Amino acid sequence: MVTTEEVDTTRQYEIPEGVLLEFRLAGPLVRAGAWAIDAAIRAVLYIAIGLSFSYFGGVGVAIILIALFLIEWFYPVLFEVKSGATPGKKAMGIWVIHDNGTPVTLSASVIRNLLRAVDFMPVMYGFGLLSMLFNREFKRLGDLAAGTLVVYRDSYEKRPELPSSTAVRPGVELTESEQQAVLAFAERAPALSSERRVELAEILSEISGRKGERAVDGIYGYANWLMKGR
Amino acid sequence: MDLSRITINLRPRTPWEGADLGFALARSEFLRLWLLWLASALPFYLVVALLLASEPMLIALLAWWFKPLYEPPLLFWLSRRVFGERLGFSEMRQHWWRIIRPQLFANLTWRRFSTARSFNMPVALLEGLKGSKRRARISVLGRGQHVTGWLTFFGINFEILLELSFLVLLVLLIPTELDWLQMDSLVMSESGVEVWLQHIGSLLAMSLIAPFYVAGGFGIYLTRRSELEGWDIELGFKRLAERVKSKRTFSSAAAGLLLLAMGFMLPGEPPIAAGLPDRDAVRQTIQEVLKDDVFGKREMRDSWEYVGDTDESAEDVPWLLQWLIDIFEGYTQGMATVAEFLLWLAVGLIIAFLLYRVSQMRDWPNLNTLPGLQRRQPLPVTLSGLDIRPESLPEDLVRQAELLLLAGEGRAALSLLYRGALSVLVFRFRLQISIGATEGECLSQVELSQDFSGAAFFRRLTIVWQGMAYGHSLPSAGELEALCQDWDRVFGEQHEE
């Protein structure tokens, strides 16, 4: 039976220069985690402010109310404009960007955070959750209005050391995705069981003409050639 | 398991992303999964509701507790869907019991408390492992997979908030005047229609979240297995092997043809050169592509267009000159500031002087009167409440006063003298006394007057009069006698010019 496109949680955007950017969208689960962390931070702030200003009578109450208002509405805006992510989002490794991949601006951040009021309805982000579950890009209503995405932040990964082996040029010309598969094998094979390693390597015995551990070694050789051989 | 038929994009993912993958899967197939869940949950719920109609809380609890009963079909369907197979409802019905039966008792008792239910389910259901094997497998798979616990935790929260949202929305949408539902009774009530609404709400919330929960756990499971077993590598290698194989068969066939046609072939030709197109053809294609407007264009316009002010002053000025200009500019600006200050000071002084002058002008009515108009003013007939018309006074005023004085009417005599004096001043000497002037004003007017010499007497008379009129101190008879004689001397008829 023929099925549709491959399911994935990425979104692609082609910039005018023809470069294809790929974002890994963050779903409701990780965003709920980020929200919970932020809510905890805000709760601590509220308690601290409430305790410290409650001794100042009417003026203290006024200051508490103003502080509550400012924190409730502008806590996310402040952090998103500054670094793209609130402390909760940062802890979860996600951040907010525009649909086209540029860093979120003040206006977009204000829109997406003011619309929390709508997402919050009827209680505790009921509409926001439904919107996130059923939107193709996990957007809540505020994201739809502001044109923003919440995505995983790519971290700089240290290039893993490849198993040393003499560089061997593959017998066939490899496409980009095939080269990636060869490199991925070289990077991750040491963590696989030896049987599985051999099983995977023998898929390519047609090309390498080798069997068993020698086949594994052969692919390490290809990987080394791809990395530094030419 | 045939990875080449897989319909998810295999790539290394974090466990969070694994859950997201499951969510995306659940969303794309939501309706089927939802109906599949309801197909087991709704009948169960109705049976329980019929049996325990008097215990609504128990119904809700049982419906919630028996979740592991409705979830395996979803997982089974998803596992087939991932490999490109969409099972129909009839197929699912045939296998239904076979799908949910394995380890059902364990699932519904002690495993019900597991925080990784949807993640562990595939091990039992899809891999068919039991007992210690299952435990060992889960311990390997579940290493570092704390996200599965969070999935359950947030799943519960999502369910609760969706149920509350449903109830609150219901209350919000019913006009308050109708008063059918109350928020507190809707959430707290233990009987009546509210409880059934609670049940509908919880059933809806559970059914909405269940596909995402099951698929989320399955997504994490797939991600973990793909990572542990290198599924993405296997798929990549298999595709590569397949491509090479098909190319080999093709190229050997082509080589055979070539051999037939030309009688020889180059065996060691590198694959790179073989695939490269002609250089000139490539150039031509590039030129064609570059002709597109997207890559820039030339345009001629023959109409004027305003391009804004061109600021030339700042251009081509040596720095020294610029420095001098700046200094001078600063100097002139300083001067201008001083001048401006002086200007404002002058304006302030002028305004202050004008205000001072205005404040000095006390006699406002006279401000507008011209000297020539003064004579036209009507002569007063009464002053200080006294009738001063000449006809109201006796002919021989002094004699009359002396008679009154003899009769002991000193008060009347003094009054007569004062009235007479005023009357003479106004009607004979034409003194300018405005209507409504007080005694003091009359006196000052008299003293200012150039034409009249009896001011000293009038002053004496006024003081005595004021003393009597306001102080009730009647002067002695001798003093009044003297006043009468002096009056005659000052105002008498013989003095008339």
CA-nearest residue to A179 within chain B is: B236
Tokens of residue A170, six digits: 């593959």
Q: What is the distance between the alpha carbons of residues B423 and B397, in angstroms, rounded to a whole number? A: 11
**Mind listing the pLDDT tens digit for each residue in B1-53?**
788 888 999 888 999 999 999 999 999 999 999 999 999 999 999 999 899 88
For chain B, give the mean pLDDT.
82
> Chain B closest CA to A156's CA: distance in Å?
15
CB contact, 8 Å: B136 with chain A?
no
Looking at the DSSP assignment, which residues form a beta bridge with residue B382?
B387
Query: How many Cβ atoms sit within 10 Å of the Cβ of residue B297?
Result: 8
Between residues 186 and 215 of chain A, which touch chain B (CB distance below 8 Å)? 188-189, 192, 196, 200, 203-204, 206-207
Q: Which residues on A lie below 8 Å from B150 (Cβ)?
A: 29, 33
Question: B138-142, B222-226, B380-384: lowest mean pLDDT where?
Answer: B380-384
**Mind listing the pLDDT tens digit for each residue in B386-416?**
777 777 788 788 888 888 888 888 888 888 8
Residue B80's contacts (CB-CB under 8 Å, 6 or more residues apart) are B86, B87
What is the separation of C-alpha A44 from the centre of its chain, rounded to a whole number of angstroms?
27
- Inter-chain Cβ pairs, chain A and chain B, closer than 8 A: 158
Q: Which residues on B lie below 8 Å from A126 (Cβ)?
A: 161-162, 164-166, 168-169
Q: What is the distance between the alpha carbons of residues B295 and B300, in angstroms, rounded to a whole number? A: 17
B234-238 LR contacts (CB < 8 Å, sep 24+): B234/A200, B234/A203, B234/B3, B235/A181, B235/B3, B235/B4, B235/B6, B235/B10, B236/A177, B236/A178, B236/A180, B236/A181, B236/A182, B236/A184, B237/A181, B237/A185, B237/A200, B237/A203, B237/A204, B238/A203, B238/B3, B238/B4
Q: Do B240 and A181 touch (CB under 8 A)?
A: yes
pLDDT of A114: 94
Alpha-carbon Rg for chain B in angstroms: 60
Query: How many Cβ atoms sit within 10 Å of the Cβ of residue B308?
Result: 5
Q: What is the distance between the alpha carbons of residues B209 and B37, in angstroms, rounded to a whole number? A: 10
Q: Which residues on B lie below 8 Å from A204 (Cβ)?
A: 237, 240-241
Mean pLDDT, range B61-86, rounded to an integer: 92
pLDDT band at B256 (very low <50, low <70, confident <90, very high): low
Mean pLDDT, range B457-486, rounded to an integer: 84
From the list B187, B162, B488, B236, the residue with the least C-alpha distance to A188 is B236
| DSSP letter string, A28-89 | HHHHHHHHHHHHHHHHHHHHHHHHHHGGGHHHHHHHHHHHHHHHHHHHHHHHHHHHSS-HHH
Mean pLDDT, range B445-463, rounded to an integer: 80
Q: Which residues on B lie below 8 Å from A172 (Cβ)?
A: 244, 247, 271
Tokens of residue B139, six digits: 């311990």
Tokens of residue A76, six digits: 């996310």
Mean pLDDT, range B476-484, rounded to an integer: 83
B97-106 LR contacts (CB < 8 Å, sep 24+): B99/B72, B99/B73, B99/B125, B100/B40, B100/B69, B100/B72, B100/B73, B102/B128, B103/B130, B104/B68, B104/B69
CB-nearest partner of A6 from B8, B172, B208: B8
Looking at the DSSP assignment, which residues form a beta bridge with residue A103?
A97
Q: What is the distance between the alpha carbons of residues B121 and B105, in angstroms, rounded to a whole number? A: 13
> Is B226 in contact with A170 (CB distance < 8 Å)?
no
Tokens of residue B103, six digits: 């380890």
**Mind listing the pLDDT tens digit for each residue in B215-252?**
999 999 999 999 998 899 999 999 898 888 887 776 66
Between residues 235 and 264 of chain B, which touch chain A (CB distance below 8 Å)? 235-241, 243-245, 247
Question: B120-124, B330-334, B461-465: lowest mean pLDDT where?
Answer: B330-334
CB-nearest partner of A204 from B151, B161, B240: B240
CB-nearest partner of A25 from B7, B20, B154: B20
- What are the two backbone dihedrals, phi and then psi, of residue A20, each rounded to the nearest 5 degrees? -95, 115
| Number of residues in chain B | 497
In chain A, where the domains are located: 10-152, 176-229
Query: How many Cβ atoms sit within 10 Å of the Cβ of residue B84?
Result: 15
CB-nearest partner of B21 from A7, A192, A196: A7
CB contact, 8 Å: A71 with chain B?
no
Check pLDDT > 90 for residue B155: yes
pLDDT of B203: 92
Mapped onto helix, strand or coil, the DSSP state of residue A227 is: helix
> Is A185 in contact with A196 (CB distance < 8 Å)?
no
Q: What percent of chain B lies above the pLDDT cut of 90?
A: 29
CB contact, 8 Å: B228 with chain A?
yes
Question: B189-203, B264-278, B447-461, B463-477: lowest mean pLDDT where?
Answer: B264-278
CB-nearest partner of B150 from A8, A29, A204: A29
Tokens of residue A67, six digits: 């502080």
Kind and range of the H or E run holding A217: helix A213-224
Q: What is the distance between the alpha carbons of residues A108 and A95, in angstroms, rounded to a whole number? A: 14
Token look-up 């269940």 returns B210
Q: Do A33 and B154 touch (CB under 8 A)?
A: yes
| Positions in chain A short of pLDDT 50 | 1-3
Kind and range of the H or E run holding B238: helix B231-262
The residue with greater pLDDT, B485 or B162, is B162
CB-nearest partner of B86 from A1, A122, A203: A1
Residue B262's contacts (CB-CB under 8 Å, 6 or more residues apart) are none
pLDDT band at B265 (very low <50, low <70, confident <90, very high): very low
> Chain A closest CA to B340's CA: distance in Å?
43
Q: Do A204 and B208 touch (CB under 8 A)?
A: no
Q: Residue A225 gets which letter from DSSP?
A: I
> Chain A closest CA to B266's CA: distance in Å?
16
Q: What is the distance between the alpha carbons of residues B22 and A7, in angstroms, rounded to a whole number? A: 9
Q: Do B24 and A125 touch (CB under 8 A)?
A: no
> Chain A closest CA to B157's CA: distance in Å?
10
The structure's pTM equals: 0.66
Q: Which residues on B lie below 8 Å from A122 (Cβ)?
A: 164-165, 168-169, 172
Q: Which residues on B lie below 8 Å from A25 (Cβ)?
A: 20
pLDDT band at B275 (very low <50, low <70, confident <90, very high): low
pLDDT of B314: 54
Tokens of residue B163, six digits: 């149920």
pLDDT of B253: 62
Looking at the DSSP assignment, which residues form a beta bridge with residue B156?
none
CA-nearest residue to A137 within chain B is: B24
CB-nearest partner of A9 from B21, B241, B247: B21
Q: What is the distance between the alpha carbons of residues B2 and B21, in angstroms, rounded to a whole number? A: 20
pLDDT of B373: 45
> Chain A closest CA to B234's CA: distance in Å?
6
Helix A57-83 vs helix A28-53: crossing angle, to nearest 10: 150
Residue B58's contacts (CB-CB under 8 Å, 6 or more residues apart) are B52
Q: Do B234 and A203 touch (CB under 8 A)?
A: yes
Q: What is the distance between the alpha carbons of residues B36 and B87, in angstroms, rounded to a whole number? A: 11
Q: Which residues on B lie below 8 Å from A10 (Cβ)?
A: 9
Looking at the DSSP assignment, which residues form a beta bridge with residue A121?
none
Q: Do A9 and B24 touch (CB under 8 A)?
A: yes
**Mind listing the pLDDT tens digit for each residue in B302-320?**
888 888 877 655 556 677 7
Tokens of residue B256, six digits: 């055979």
CB contact, 8 Å: B161 with chain A?
yes
What is the separation of C-alpha B80 from the centre of its chain, rounded to a whole number of angstroms?
51
**Mind listing the pLDDT tens digit for each residue in A138-172?**
999 999 999 999 999 988 878 778 888 888 888 88
* H helix intervals, B66-146: 67-82, 89-100, 104-108, 117-125, 131-141
pLDDT of A3: 44
Q: What is the distance between the alpha carbons of residues B481 and B464, in angstroms, rounded to a whole number? A: 13
CA-nearest residue to A199 within chain B is: B234
The residue with greater pLDDT, B276 or B91, is B91
Query: How many Cβ atoms sit within 10 Å of the Cβ of residue B40?
Result: 20
